[in-house]
Amino acid sequence: MSADAVSTAPPPGARADWTIDQGWDGYTPAEHQVWITLYERQASMLAGRACGQFLNGLEALDLHRAGIPDVHRLNRELDRLTGWTVVAVPGLVPDGIFFEHLANRRFPVGRFIRDASELDYLQEPDIFHDVFGHVPMLTDPTFADYMQAYGRGGQRAMERGQLHHLARLYWYTVEFGLLQTAQGLRIYGAGIVSSRAESHFALEDPSPNRLGFSLERIMRTPYRIDDFQQVYFVAPSLQALLDATLQDFAPIYERLSRAPDIAIAAIEPGDTVITRGDQSYAKAGGRAAQ
Ligand code: HBI
Ligand code: FE
């Protein structure tokens, strides 16, 4: 996603803020069936893997098995819990539009759902990734605050030309974050929790590094968009994520502008090492070699 401006024109039929009507009545039975298939394969494996906040959110929103949720129904419950609502969009929206929505507690969700032939992986977020993956965590007040702080931070990062650093924070927390709990590591990242294969890989595979959450370390670390991550960062709590956003980022961006990126599979002297991976999956060629 290029760091484009807010000025990019929305596609035909979309409003200036890139939102569209979900048109829930327009989904076909086949599209609802894809949701049901994805939901049942994911929900059945998340006990003991997804964090408690995610599981509570899934329950509270009743993302029931009857098919693609109607965002109007979903919003009544979500708005009551944390003041967040979801808005339907055609797909990826420009960064400036995305941050504007997050800063106002609106989460953009792609209207489309993937085809039954690509259940396991897709490049662009569809409504299953967005609603099943992201929305349950938005029912947690602390995470809800974190996501709004991220939106505001994104607006400032764009002004400073620092989006490439801040996008890594999103990637290694909101999309691929792990949480330390008394019962062990648990998933809160949407990219993991909405993927059956990566839900196993991120928690159990000996291949990836698992390192303690560190804001600046994350912002110096590139990430994978085409395959499982080679490193996962583990937050001690959701409060720790929120606390990290409440500091002044100017000195951080100043230091980052002079600090080189860290190699994606590297372990640095200052790292808190939870598991030192053997990178066997990446060395074997990753998804392409499966
Ligand atoms: N648009 N609809 C949508 N969903 C996203 O998750 C999204 C986006 N645009 C940009 C983006 N994510 C990332 O580049 C953020 O880091 C900004
Ligand atoms: Fe996402």
pLDDT in tens, 210-236: 999 999 999 999 999 989 999 999 999
Is 213 part of any domain?
yes
Q: What is residue 65's predicted lDDT score, i.e. its pLDDT?
A: 62
Whose C-alpha lies nearest to ligand 1, atom 16? 167
Is 173 part of any domain?
yes
Residue 154, pLDDT > 50, answer yes
Ligand of minimum distance to the alpha carbon of 132: 2
Is 97 part of any domain?
yes
Which tens digit of pLDDT belongs to each residue from 56-100?
999 999 986 689 999 999 999 999 999 999 999 999 999 999 999
Lowest mean pLDDT among 35-44, 173-182, 227-236, 274-283: 35-44
Residue 6, pLDDT > 80, answer no
The closest-lying atom of ligand 1 relative to the alpha carbon of residue 99 is: 17
Mean pLDDT confidence for 104-123: 91
Q: How do 209-212 and 273-275 pair as beta strands?
A: antiparallel
Whose C-alpha lies nearest to ligand 1, atom 4? 92
The mean pLDDT of the chain is: 95
Is 4 part of any domain?
no
CA 110–ligand 2 middle distance (angstroms):
10
CA 230–ligand 1 middle distance (angstroms):
21
Mean pLDDT confidence for 235-258: 96
Cα–Cα distance, 205 to 255 (Å, whole number): 34
Whose C-alpha lies nearest to ligand 1, atom 11? 95
User: Domains in the chain: how many in total?
Assistant: 1
Which tens digit of pLDDT belongs to each residue from 192-217?
999 999 999 999 999 999 999 999 99
Is 284 part of any domain?
yes
Residues spanned by the domain of 65: 24-289
Q: Which long-range contacts (CB under 8 A, 24 or more apart) does 258-264 make?
A: 259/216, 259/220, 260/220, 261/220, 261/221, 261/222, 262/217, 262/220, 262/221, 264/221, 264/222, 264/223, 264/224, 264/230, 264/231
Query: Which residues crowd ion ligand 2, with CB under 5 Å?
Result: 125, 190
Ligand of minimum distance to the alpha carbon of 134: 2
Is 3 part of any domain?
no
Whose C-alpha lies nearest to ligand 1, atom 1? 92
CA 34–ligand 1 middle distance (angstroms):
23
Q: What is residue 8's predicted lDDT score, i.e. its pLDDT?
A: 81
Residue 2, pLDDT > 50, answer no
CA 269–ligand 2 middle distance (angstroms):
31
Is 155 part of any domain?
yes
CATH code for the domain in which residue 110 is found: 1.10.800.10
